[in-house]
Chain A
Amino acid sequence: MREYLLRHRSLDIVIKLIGVAIVLPLLAATPIFGAFQPFNGWLTGFANAAIFVMLAIGLNIVVGKAGLLDLGFAAFFAIGAYTYAFGASAYSGNDIPFWLMLPIGAIVTAIFGVAIGAPTLRLRGDYLAIVTLGFGEIIPNVLLNSDKYTLGTNGISGLNRPELPIIGVFKSNEPWPWFILAVVLIGVIMIAADRISFSRIGRAWEAIREDELAAASNGINTVTFKLLAFAIGASTAGIAGAFLASKLSFVSPDQFKFSVSVTVLSMLVLGGIGNLWGAAIGAFLLYFVQSILLKQLNEGFKGVPVLGEIDFLQLQYLLFGLALVIMMLRRPGGLFPERRAARHRVGTAKE
């Protein structure tokens, strides 16, 4: 069975995700979890966490696989969300269905990924990080300042929501459709990321990450494959952006600040750079620390001397920073390091 699933990794992903999609709502329905927040709150939370899971998977391709440290990943998230806003809102006058906007968003962000990736091709390591950081700041600022088209700080509201034949238009107070949509999207993204990673393309990325000169000397066109990594990573963020925009029915530039890029990168480091499931689990965990645990700490310590005075939400970046430092010292590969088992072994190739 194990052997079979090692060969059929897409099926493996589907089975695991279905498992997750069953277990999570069941857990949320138990009284322990119910004490934190009502069931619907959990389900909405899962769907929100899914956005970060998608971002982490996308960033994992750029940083984890191809080894290109990108500190401005939120830019692609923003482009995806605004593409959706321009394509499907009363404000823009366009009314393209959500299902069509997903591939459109992915393609538009992929193009931006290439456009932003191209000037950075000669850069490595810290220099690349600084330049991508710059782009990560530029994009939200452009969105903020071109208020003639984007309404600036006010953002664009009233974006269309997804619609399906039987369910009708998804509603913000009904979390089930969003939850299932999120799981399906993650499934598609994961399978795509996994298949690409376990192909000639994925091997080329890893080779570039390990030793760029040796990669070039083994026939890999490093320019093409780096741009491809940027494009594919970005398109994943584009899908996440479209999902976010349609879910909130609202976009504004301050949803895509530097903190988003850093959070996603922290998720990746925590979960395990280079490992698909590590990235996903890291994103999921960190999202819930951020959105629920810290809030609950505030509630729980209310009235307690000293501890009650602390606003744990304000400490989140301190905590993330600490977590990263500890991870780097104790477990540099992350919670779920890129395992050997997840590699191409003799006989992995299917008939």
Chain B
Amino acid sequence: MTKKQPVLELKGVGRTFGGLVAVNSVDLEVAAGSITSIIGPNGAGKTTLFNVISGIYAPTKGNITLSGALLATPDHKTEREAFLWGAFAIAGIVIGAIAGLAIDAPAGLAGVGAIVSSGAILLAAVSRPAWYVRVCARLGIQRSARPNDVVFLGIARTFQNIRLFKEMSALENVMVGTHARTDVGLFDALLDTRRFRRTEKESESQALTLLQAVGLEDQANVAAKNLAYGDQRRLEVARALASTPKLLLLDEPAAGMNPAETAQMIELIKSIRDKFGVTVLLIEHDMRVVMGISEKIAVLDHGEKIAEGTPAEIRSNPRVIEAYLGRGAASGA
């Protein structure tokens, strides 16, 4: 086995909800450029694992790294944030007071300074811009990346129950997907600057390219809710690709599809892997999909990884058969 750094690495990742252990200590490595599947019976914790990877839930134990950089971890030393806020507020008071000396009103300006600085730091604490996260990291405070940070770092996902922006057109849906890679401020938009126009144009043409890649270029102006079911699934894939991810998480991409649509989806997943060089991690129940495209399969049951291997290995693994069909079937096989 070549010792290339995996794109995604899970080490002992667990997530509990109160007393319910949804995911318990899962280790997983996803090799760059591979297509890996996670399978398992209903309630095995597959979607919870996806939600942890994509930042919707923080793990309650273990950690996740993306290309070696820490992505998700249980909250660690977050109480230190209070010191940060306090330091900021005090700095505001001091600066205000010093500035106030100049106009002979130190108390007044100190008050203004306190309000401004504490307001600013609280705002930063809720919106968590990049600089704030960096300062926190410097102080040893660890928090899981939020969903939008995860996208920024290079993981995009689709959802089991399609979650498109229904009222928006297919084109707009994909343009939202480019959000993480564009940076146009309020004043660019207000003043209709050249930068704004260029970025809009780029977003639009990138979105069109992606719509083409999933075969929806003719429906660019159709509202997402009016697309056929299979098209909605493919639109979600295009939207996820718009953030130019390193890793694409697909949560049951072929759910509810007929055999023809499923075959199309398999081709699509293969082609986007080849065309966009993206690593794919997917959850799937449909064994035609799983066995057809996966290079590696991990099997979850009751929140634990019970097996991992190539499709052929998984097919003959007695623990997997037991998880799916029960003990009798496994021993009879």
Contact = CB atoms under 8 A, between A and B. Distances in A.
Interface of B is mostly: helix
Contacts of B243: 218-219
Given A114-B123, A218-B151, A348-B204, A199 B168 contact: no
A153 B223 CA distance: 51
Contacts of A210: 164-168
Contacts of A227: 123, 127
Interface stretch (B176-184, B261-269, B289-297): B176-184
B227 to A, nearest CB: 14
Report the contact-size class of chain B (Cβ under 8 Å from the partner). 35 or more
A124 interface: no
Given A344-B171, A346-B204, A219 B152 contact: yes
A232 B148 CA distance: 22
B97 to A, nearest CB: 22
Interface string B146-178: 111011100011010001111111011001110
A338 interface: yes
A196 B167 contact: no
Given A219-B179, A221-B127, A346-B221, A203 B172 contact: yes
A289 B6 CA distance: 67
B200 interface: yes
B189 A121 contact: no
Interface in B111-148: 119, 122-123, 126-129, 146-148
Given A195-B190, A203-B175, A217-B56, A349 B197 contact: yes
A200 interface: yes
A219 B196 CA distance: 19
B156 A218 contact: yes
A159 B242 CA distance: 53
Given A200-B200, A215-B176, 6 more contacts: A118-B123, A210-B164, A210-B168, A211-B164, A217-B56, A350-B200
Interface of B: 54-56, 119, 122-123, 126-129, 146-148, 150-152, 156-157, 159, 163-169, 171-172, 175-177, 179-182, 184, 186, 188-190, 192, 196-197, 199-201, 203-204, 208, 220-221, 223, 239-240, 242-243
Report the 7 A-B pairs with minimum CB-CB distance, sorted nearest first. Answer: A219-B180, A219-B151, A199-B189, A210-B165, A214-B163, A216-B147, A349-B200
19 contacts: A115-B119, A121-B126, A199-B188, A199-B196, A203-B172, A207-B176, A211-B166, A215-B165, A216-B147, A217-B148, A217-B151, A219-B243, A223-B128, A227-B123, A340-B169, A343-B168, A344-B175, A346-B208, A350-B197
